[in-house]
Structure 1
Amino acid sequence: MNEVLMIPKRTLGSTGIDVSCLGLGTVKLGRNQGVKYPSSFELPDDRHILNLLATATELGINLIDTAPAYGISEQRLGELLWDRQRWVICTKTGEEFVDGQSRFDFSATHTRASIHRSLKRLNTDYLDLVLVHSDGRDREIIEHSDCFETLARLKEAGNIRAFGLSGKTVEGGLLALQHSDVVMVTFNPDQQEERQVIQQACKLNKGVLIKKAFASGHAVVDSSADPVRSNLQFSLQEPGVSAVVVGTINPHHLRDNVRACLD
């Protein structure tokens, strides 16, 4: 008898968007240069990606995370995602990866152009969620650029449903909660500094996405225990967390991740 696995959904703060509590990160669909994973990898072919997406669908995963900085990830998803309405697409703005280097631009002009380019690449007329891809200067981006204001206008225009910050500081995360819908924070047993942001988000009913639950894969390599289960459970049991985003191109790993969430 085949094992039936189905990941539950949680509401993303006050956005009204229901997301699977495990999201699929797609860096490895489009970029294998300048990444922080412990081992190298080849980009998967279209057939492999279709199998991965079919597995995600079977498991009940509807949250998919991409970014312009993820190489050709957006384009490939735009070509291969079917049934757009079942997916919650999260992309980003602010960071570009060009000629092996990251470049950052948080101006209104770039933000607007980035969103319209993502819409075209992803072959959709709206984006569920857009996060500002911070370079670490979280507070400066929010207070001294037009990025958040531009995203708010694009939300009013119906181009995006919600927006927020994928940040790197506690200060930035707390500030983002005052001006946006969602934060994406680093949170795992070895990196708990941003718990304060999660707690405040919970009080304000704002959405929280977790990144680097496995420390970019290093927690899996460096541990002799079961870091997949322990790290996923650690994040998902924290009040206020909407979903954990984990990147993989291996359908078996994706299934194992879902199983670990359900244990």
Structure 2
Amino acid sequence: MKKFPIAQTGVAVTPIGLGTVKLGRNQGVKYPTTFEIPDDKAAANLIAHAKALGINLIDTAPAYGSSEERLGKLLKEQRCDWVICSKVGEEFENGKSSFNFTPEFVRQSCHRSLQRLKTEYIDIMLVHSDGNDTHIINHYGILDVLAELKKQGLIRAVGMSTKTKAGGLLAAEKSDVVMVSYNIEYKEDEPVIDYCAAHDKGVLIKKAFGSGHFCHNPSKNPIQDNIDFIFSKKGVTSIIVGTINPQHLEENVSALTLKRQNHKIGFGYV
């Protein structure tokens, strides 16, 4: 699978990434059905399958329960095969989320993620927003803190997982990459994607399939429809697929392949 650059950072990712919230947390999530957290064997098989499909991007966060710690073990001896994206700002303990965006905590969280993931650097570090995007950026100077950690070699690319258009635009201006929600039914962050396309910034897409809800709608082919829609938008770098089902991951890659075959110049990143 071809890889596409994140700004001028030297980080390059595949157009599909594996989201790992389901490897570490099944409480307080918004998926349409309940699920059991997979054991180590199932998790290792999922990661091996993603790798076999050509995927190199894996997304985690402290807010994903035990995800970071599990990945630290599961990715042992294959670190060079993966672009790891993690986050700072949101914590999840005892079934509840909490947020802390102070510079001191951000530095502490970054070092903790390095330890949990058993790595000397994290490829992409995003701010995990609580919805007050612009306040977090302006009040805490959080992107400047991440930029300092980047200069120290602990992070390769910095950015923010945003929840507002204004926050997305500000984050794109001040960092390398933004993560935004985007799908057929949610287009509010299109101006953010347009800005990134014009200024050579990376765009990671979350909720590409409505957190799984689109798979239960009457559309003839909701996966293909959303893949076609998202990758027809110039500026999109990659979508994060949060699944523990190898077949679903394979279906996503197949939909991407079909999109490329049918629309050779239709990809936003071509």
How far residue 222 of structure 1 moved from its aligned partner, in angstroms, is 2.0
Of 211, 215, 218, the residue aligned with 1:216 is: 211
Deviation per residue, 1:64-119 (Å, 9 max, x gap): 00000000000000001141011000000000011111100000011000000000
Determine the C-alpha separation between the residues in 2 that align with 1:63 and 1:262: 17
Work out the number of aligned pairs and report it. Answer: 257
Query: One-letter code of the match for 2:26?
Result: N
Q: 2:43 aligned with 1:31, yes or no? A: no
1:1-263 map, 5 Å: 7-81=1-75, 82-263=77-258
TM-score by length of 1: 0.96
How far residue 136 of structure 1 moved from its aligned partner, in angstroms, is 0.4
Moved over 3 A (4+): none
How far residue 122 of structure 1 moved from its aligned partner, in angstroms, is 0.3
Deviation per residue, 1:2-61 (Å, 9 max, x gap): xxxxx3322223322110100000000000000000000000000001111111111110
Query: One-letter code of the match for 1:96?
Result: E
Query: One-letter code of the match for 1:153?
Result: E
Between 186-195 and 225-234, the greater mean CA deviation after superposition: 225-234
Q: Which has the higher contact order (CA 8 A, sep 6+)?
A: 1
Determine the C-alpha separation between the residues in 1 that align with 2:183 and 2:219: 16
Contact 2:6 2:157 in 1 (8 A): no
Query: One-letter code of the match for 2:70?
Result: R
TM-score by length of 2: 0.93
Determine the C-alpha separation between the residues in 1 that align with 2:184 and 2:5: 24
Determine the C-alpha separation between the residues in 1 that align with 2:191 and 2:110: 30
Between 218-227 and 242-251, the greater mean CA deviation after superposition: 218-227
Task: Identify unmatched segments of 5+ residues in structure 2.
Answer: 259-270
Query: One-letter code of the match for 2:47?
Result: L
Query: One-letter code of the match for 2:149?
Result: L
How far residue 180 of structure 1 moved from its aligned partner, in angstroms, is 0.6
Determine the C-alpha separation between the residues in 2 that align with 1:156 and 1:72: 28
Query: One-letter code of the match for 1:170?
Result: K
Aligned partner of 2:262 in structure 1 is: none
Determine the C-alpha separation between the residues in 1 that align with 2:232 and 2:56: 20
Q: Secondary structure at the match of 2:111?
A: helix
Q: Secondary structure at the match of 1:97?
A: strand
How far residue 233 of structure 1 moved from its aligned partner, in angstroms, is 2.0
Task: Identify unmatched segments of 5+ residues in structure 1.
Answer: 1-6
